[in-house]
């Protein structure tokens, strides 16, 4: 699309600063520009727009409604695709705003310190170009619970796989199975649009079983081609309901002739902790049967260390939110160092998610992380394309 095609709104209470900002944006070739003097005026304008702007530039320190409250409402009502914060802001507060916005599918492009300059604006706006946010993709496809049920029964939901590489030698040692749903017209339904729907509609057990079945089937095919890989499958807290679940998962593996040692079950940190007593017994049984157990998205939930130490986990996954930008953000680096230190003490392997740059790879390798997963290595691919994706990675020079 190029910067010129972006629709941008600038929210700034200071008249002179606002006019200056608009002039700089116009000089960059942007002609879809909107302005507002405060949060209330901005919300009125946004609610009246036929489609949301691509980027809202907002000052955090505004009279009446501050920028944090404004961003919260924009995220909740999906009034924009992304935002960028215009003010000097300490990293901890920026991270809080990012987490808050991300939870609602709103991208935070980052921070621009005043005074505004063409260079600073170009840098932050080009981030929008580099990877359109999940909110855009999700808005394009709306699906119902009935469609989701039909898609599961017709086999339209399939597992794609994202490789995990060892930091020591770059070798691919495992993959994560990720649910992908392609509609009859070829459009993909993003997981953010269908996974919560399936969880709310009681279909998540069926989805997990389907992912396990496909993980086992592909594992056998890859093994026949000489690829010996562990496969991680996501498990929702709703799956961990009764003692029979462990037996059912084991039965699926036995049917395919796959050993539980080859399968890692990823459990989101916040969901484990919400119902510890029931979940603990279930996780203990799965571990006894030989399944690997992984704490997914570590650091984004509200776990206590005592609960973490009670559960027989074998692996910890560092959330992509801490990995992105860690080479230049000391707080993110500190979170990673602490997680690695904790994992070592608990005897857990560590996978870093969302590794996208060579700088991130080098930092994590230097800090002693075990495995990397992310677009630097490969995007998720259908099972038949995995050997080619691994071959491409082998030829990559880091």
What pLDDT, in 10s, does the model give residues 187-199?
A: 888 888 888 888 8
Residue 297 confidence (pLDDT): 73
What is the band of 306 on the pLDDT scale with cuts at 50, 70, 90? low
Q: Please answer whether residues 277 and 237 qualify as being in contact, where contact means their C-beta atoms are separated by less than 8 angstroms.
A: no
Residue 6 has pLDDT above 70, yes or no: yes
Q: What percent of the chain has pLDDT over 90?
A: 56
Q: Determine the average pLDDT of the residues in 100-110.
A: 77
Residue 268 has pLDDT above 90, yes or no: no
Lowest mean pLDDT across 11-15, 181-185, 339-343 = 181-185
What is the band of 275 on the pLDDT scale with cuts at 50, 70, 90? low
What is the band of 139 on the pLDDT scale with cuts at 50, 70, 90? very low
Distance CA 237, CA 273 (A): 9
Hunting for tokens 């946004």 — which residue is that?
Answer: 46
Residue 299 has pLDDT above 80, yes or no: no
What is the band of 126 on the pLDDT scale with cuts at 50, 70, 90? confident
Q: Determine the average pLDDT of the residues in 57-85.
A: 89
Token pair recorded at residue 256:
């395919």
Question: Following DSSP, what letter does each residue of 164-210 receive, concatenated?
Answer: EEETTT--EEEEEEEEEEE-TTSPEEPHHHHHHHHHHTT-HHHHHHH
Question: Following DSSP, what letter does each residue of 40-51 receive, concatenated?
Answer: HHHHHHHHHSSS
Lowest mean pLDDT across 144-153, 283-292, 296-305, 378-387 = 296-305
Q: Please answer whether residues 136 and 81 qualify as being in contact, where contact means their C-beta atoms are separated by less than 8 angstroms.
A: yes
What is the band of 263 on the pLDDT scale with cuts at 50, 70, 90? very high
**Top-confidence residue, 251 or 3:** 251
Residue 132 confidence (pLDDT): 45
What is the band of 91 on the pLDDT scale with cuts at 50, 70, 90? low
Token pair recorded at residue 234:
């996501």
Q: Determine the average pLDDT of the residues in 76-91.
A: 84
């Amino acid at each position: 699309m190029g910067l010129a095609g972006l629709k941008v709104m600038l929210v700034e209470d200071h008249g002179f600063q606002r006019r200056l900002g608009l002039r700089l944006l116009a000089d960059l070739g942007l002609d879809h520009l909107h302005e507002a003097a405060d949060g209330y005026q901005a919300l009125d304008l946004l609610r009246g727009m036929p489609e949301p702007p691509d980027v809202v530039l907002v000052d955090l320190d505004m009279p009446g409604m501050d920028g944090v409250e404004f961003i919260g409402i924009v995220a909740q009502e999906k009034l924009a695709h992304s935002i960028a914060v215009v003010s000097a802001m300490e990293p901890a507060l920026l991270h809080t705003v990012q987490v808050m916005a991300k939870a609602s599918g709103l991208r935070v492009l980052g921070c621009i310190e005043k005074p505004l300059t063409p260079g600073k604006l170009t840098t932050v706006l080009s981030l929008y170009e580099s990877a359109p946010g999940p909110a855009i993709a999700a808005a394009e496809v709306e699906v119902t619970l009935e469609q989701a049920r039909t898609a599961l029964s017709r086999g339209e939901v399939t597992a794609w796989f994202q490789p995990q590489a060892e930091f020591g030698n770059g070798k691919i040692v495992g993959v994560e199975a990720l649910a992908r749903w392609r509609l009859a017209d070829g459009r993909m339904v993003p997981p953010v649009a269908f996974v919560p729907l399936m969880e709310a509609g009681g279909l998540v057990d069926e989805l997990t079983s389907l992912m396990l079945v496909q993980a086992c089937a592909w594992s056998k095919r890859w093994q026949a081609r000489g690829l010996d890989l562990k496969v991680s499958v996501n498990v929702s807290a709703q799956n961990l309901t009764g003692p029979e679940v462990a037996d059912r998962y084991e039965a699926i593996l036995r049917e395919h002739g796959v050993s539980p040692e080859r399968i890692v079950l990823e459990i989101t940190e916040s969901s484990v902790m919400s119902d510890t007593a029931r979940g603990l017994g279930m996780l203990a049984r799965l571990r006894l049967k030989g399944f690997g157990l992984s704490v997914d998205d570590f650091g984004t939930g509200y776990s206590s260390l005592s609960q973490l130490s009670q559960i027989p986990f074998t692996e910890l996954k560092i959330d992509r939110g801490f990995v992105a930008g860690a080479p230049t953000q000391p707080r993110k680096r500190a979170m990673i160092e602490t997680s690695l230190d904790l994992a070592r003490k608990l005897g857990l392997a560590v996978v870093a998610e969302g590794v996208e740059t060579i700088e991130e790879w080098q930092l994590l390798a230097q800090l002693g992380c075990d495995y990397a997963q992310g677009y630097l290595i490969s995007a998720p691919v259908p099972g038949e394309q995995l050997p080619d994706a691994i071959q491409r990675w082998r030829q990559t020079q880091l």
